[in-house]
C-alpha cells in the first residue's frame, strides 16, 4: 500500500497543473521584460535576459524552466517583439547573435538540474549550475556567431564573450541571492516549493 501511495504522490508531483503552467508563464513574462532592459553594444547587446534565465532555472523545476524559456522563444519566433531591443521573428534566431538565444532553454534546464538533483550544498550547486550553463551559452552562441559572420572563433570570443564575463558573474550573484530570498519567503508561503 505504501508503495502505491508513493507512486501516486510522484505522479501528482510531476503532473503539469494549471498552477504550474501559470507560474511558467509568469517566468516567461519576466524573461520578456528583462530582455528589454538593454544597453546597445555591438556586436552583442548587453541585456538582463541572462538574469531572467538564471532566475527561471533557479526557481522552477527543470521541466517548467525548459517550458518557460521555450515559450519565450516561441513568442519571438511568432513575431512578437520579445527579444532584446523589441525584436521578434525567426530571423532574429538566424542572426549573428541568435545562438545565444537558442542556448537559453538549455541554460535554464541545466541550472535547474544542478539545483534540484544535487542534494547537499544547494547554493553551491546552483552557482556551479549557473556557471556551467553560462559556459554552454558562450560556447553555443559564439560558435553560431562565428559561423554566421565568418569570424574566427577565438576572435569572436574577444567580441562576444570577454566584455560580458564580469557583468554575467554579477548576474549570477544577483540571481543566486534573489532566488534564495524568494525561495525562503514568497515561494514557500505560496506552496511552490
Instruction: Kindly report, residue by residue over 35-78, the tens digit of the pLDDT.
Output: 999 998 888 889 999 999 999 999 999 999 999 999 999 999 99
Say what the pLDDT of residue 193 is: 56
The CA-atom distances, in angstroms, between 88 and each of 32, 77, 93, 102, 153 are 11, 6, 9, 14, 26
Which residue ranges form the domains of the chain, and what is each CATH number?
Answer: 2-189 (1.10.1760.20)
Mean pLDDT calculated for residue range 105-127: 94
Q: Among candidates 149, 174, 132, which has minimal Cα distance to 97?
A: 149
Mean pLDDT calculated for residue range 124-145: 97
Say what the pLDDT of residue 44 is: 87
Length in residues, the chain: 193
pLDDT category at 185 given cuts 50, 70, 90 is confident
Say what the pLDDT of residue 188 is: 65
Mean pLDDT calculated for residue range 113-119: 91
Mean pLDDT calculated for residue range 128-144: 98
Mean pLDDT calculated for residue range 111-130: 93
Say what the pLDDT of residue 38 is: 93
Please check whether residue 83 is in contact with residue 92, taking contact to mean a CB–CB distance below 8 angstroms: yes
Is residue 38 helix, strand or coil? strand
pLDDT category at 187 given cuts 50, 70, 90 is low
* Angle separating helix axes 122-149 and 165-184, nearest 10 degrees: 140
Dihedral sign from CA coordinates of 177, 120, 128, 84: negative
**143 vs 153: CA distance, rounded Å:** 6
Q: Among candidates 78, 92, 91, which has minimal Cα distance to 35?
A: 92
DSSP code for 4: H
DSSP code for 47: E
Would you say residue 191 has pLDDT above 70? no
Residue with cell 574577444: 158
Radius of gyration of the chain (CA): 17
Please check whether residue 101 is in contact with residue 92, taking contact to mean a CB–CB distance below 8 angstroms: yes
Instruction: Kindly report, residue by residue over 1-34, the tens digit of the pLDDT.
Output: 555 554 445 556 678 899 899 999 999 999 999 9
Say what the pLDDT of residue 57 is: 97
Say what the pLDDT of residue 7 is: 47
Cα 42 to chain centroid, rounded:
22
Would you say residue 154 has pLDDT above 70? yes
Say what the pLDDT of residue 172 is: 98
pTM metric for this prediction: 0.89
Amino acid at each position: 500500500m505504501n508503495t502505491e501511495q508513493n507512486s501516486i504522490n510522484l505522479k501528482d508531483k510531476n503532473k503539469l497543473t494549471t498552477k504550474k503552467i501559470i507560474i511558467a508563464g509568469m517566468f516567461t513574462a519576466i524573461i520578456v521584460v528583462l530582455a528589454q532592459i538593454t544597453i546597445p553594444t555591438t556586436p552583442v547587446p548587453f541585456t538582463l535576459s541572462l538574469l531572467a534565465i538564471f532566475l527561471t532555472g533557479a526557481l522552477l523545476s527543470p521541466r517548467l524552466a525548459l517550458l518557460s524559456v521555450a515559450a519565450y522563444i516561441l513568442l519571438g519566433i511568432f513575431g512578437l517583439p520579445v527579444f532584446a531591443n523589441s525584436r521578434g521573428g525567426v530571423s532574429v534566431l538566424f542572426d549573428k547573435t541568435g545562438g545565444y538565444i537558442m542556448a537559453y532553454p538549455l541554460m535554464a534546464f541545466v541550472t535547474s538540474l544542478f539545483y534540484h538533483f544535487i542534494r547537499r550544498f544547494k547554493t553551491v550547486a546552483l552557482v556551479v549550475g549557473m556557471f556551467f550553463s553560462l559556459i554552454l551559452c558562450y560556447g553555443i552562441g559564439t560558435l553560431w556567431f562565428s559561423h554566421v559572420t565568418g569570424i574566427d572563433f577565438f576572435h569572436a570570443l574577444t567580441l562576444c564573450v570577454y566584455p560580458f564575463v564580469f557583468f554575467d558573474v554579477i548576474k549570477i550573484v544577483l540571481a543566486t541571492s534573489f532566488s534564495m530570498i524568494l525561495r525562503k519567503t514568497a515561494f514557500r508561503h505560496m506552496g511552490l516549493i
